[in-house]
Amino acid sequence: MIFVEGIIMNNASAHVIVLGNEKGGSGKSTTAFHLAVYLLYQGYRVATIDVDTRQQTLSKFVNNRLSWAEKMGLDIPHSDHHHLSISRGDSIRENQKQEFEEFRNAIVKTEQDADFLIIDTPGFDTHLTRLSHSLADTLITPLNDSLIDLDVLAKIDATNGEPIALGHYTRLVQRARRERMVIDGRNIDWILLRNRLSMLASRNSIFMHKGLELTALRLGARVAKGVGERVIFRSLFPTGMTIFDPINKDFLGAVSSKSQANIRNEYQSLVAALNLPKTNELEPLVG
């Protein structure tokens, strides 16, 4: 049983996946949304919570999907989604209290009825960001193929790729891991996700890969290959549709059926690398 600041989660409750990184533009929300839809198509019950009250990108994905499905009469799966409202009171303490209550209520409503609970966090440190990390069973940190993104984890020696100083986000995760270990004796499985990979090898990407592997070893994390840079994801955002949905050629544009299959295979590989419970024998997506 997990008991964190009045939030109780039983061992039989949803597996909590948190998307976290204090570097903006790393693809947290896009990854959270597409992972949720992928798992929905695999037949799992999925709940999502958007903790980023400013950007609310995950909520926009979800709302666009709901609106488009209703407009077009589509029978497509949806997550049980919750977002936190923006607190605009004069008291910071009261605002934080309101946000916490909304977060706690969302956890209570979803954790017993879902197989997976996916939480998207903002690109900056907040109380709910830290709380979300402490609840994580699996923590996914997407990183663009850039040494700038890697800097939030650790300062890297420019000659050999060795981490020489821990970054501010790493310290946040370490605190969350210590808290979780005290609470129920379990470690958070931390996945460093190489996201938006370039199709072409370069000195930067090779050095980035080396630095990330060495950093993961230092941090007790794992490295997983994510999804390549795909224009189609951005093109589909206004409709909330994904490459996993039955979409016509007008939406796919220049994306061939082979490319569509490749993208789906990338997600198949990603989920396998996450080593989530119940997903060891997923069938490949078809259609």
Q: What is the pLDDT of residues 169-224, one digit of tens each?
A: 999 999 999 988 888 888 899 999 987 665 545 666 777 778 889 999 999 999 99
Cα gap 245→74, rounded to integer Å: 10
Report yes or no on 282 lying in a domain.
Answer: no
Sign of CA pseudo-dihedral 115, 123, 5, 182: positive
More confident residue, 119 or 242: 119
Residue 70 confidence (pLDDT) = 95
Percent helix, strand, coil in the chain (nearest 5)?
45, 20, 40
Percent of the chain with pLDDT over 90: 41
Q: What is the mean pLDDT of residues 85-90?
A: 68
More confident residue, 102 or 191: 191
Taking CA atoms, 144 is separated from 54, 70, 92, 224, in Å, by 22, 34, 33, 12
Residue 188 confidence (pLDDT) = 95
- Per-residue confidence at 3, pLDDT binned at 50, 70, 90? very low
Asked whether 82 and 120 are in contact (CB, 8 A), the reply is no
Residue 286 confidence (pLDDT) = 44
CATH code: domain of residue 71: 3.40.50.300
* Least trusted range by pLDDT, from 44-53, 135-144, 150-159, 274-283: 274-283
Report yes or no on 167 lying in a domain.
Answer: yes
Helix (H, G, I), strand (E, B) or coil at 84: coil
- Per-residue confidence at 8, pLDDT binned at 50, 70, 90? low
More confident residue, 51 or 23: 51
Total number of domains in the chain: 1
Cα gap 14→123, rounded to integer Å: 24
Report yes or no on 75 lying in a domain.
Answer: yes
Cα gap 49→32, rounded to integer Å: 10
Report yes or no on 284 lying in a domain.
Answer: no
Structure tokens at 269: 């590989």
Q: What is the mean pLDDT of residues 259-285?
A: 76
Cα gap 194→285, rounded to integer Å: 22
More confident residue, 216 or 150: 216
Sign of CA pseudo-dihedral 237, 238, 244, 248: negative
Supply the DSSP symbol for 228.
B
Going by C-beta distance under 8 Å and a sequence separation of 6 or more, which residues neighbour residue 195? 26, 27, 31, 142, 143, 144, 145, 226, 227
Cα gap 226→144, rounded to integer Å: 10
Report yes or no on 283 lying in a domain.
Answer: no
Q: What is the span of the domain harbouring residue 167?
A: 2-274
Residue 262 confidence (pLDDT) = 80
Report yes or no on 117 lying in a domain.
Answer: yes
Report yes or no on 285 lying in a domain.
Answer: no
Report yes or no on 76 lying in a domain.
Answer: yes
Sign of CA pseudo-dihedral 251, 233, 137, 3: negative
Asked whether 100 and 129 are in contact (CB, 8 A), the reply is no
**Mean pLDDT for the chain?**
83
**Considering the entire predicted model, what is its pTM?**
0.88
Supply the DSSP symbol for 83.
E
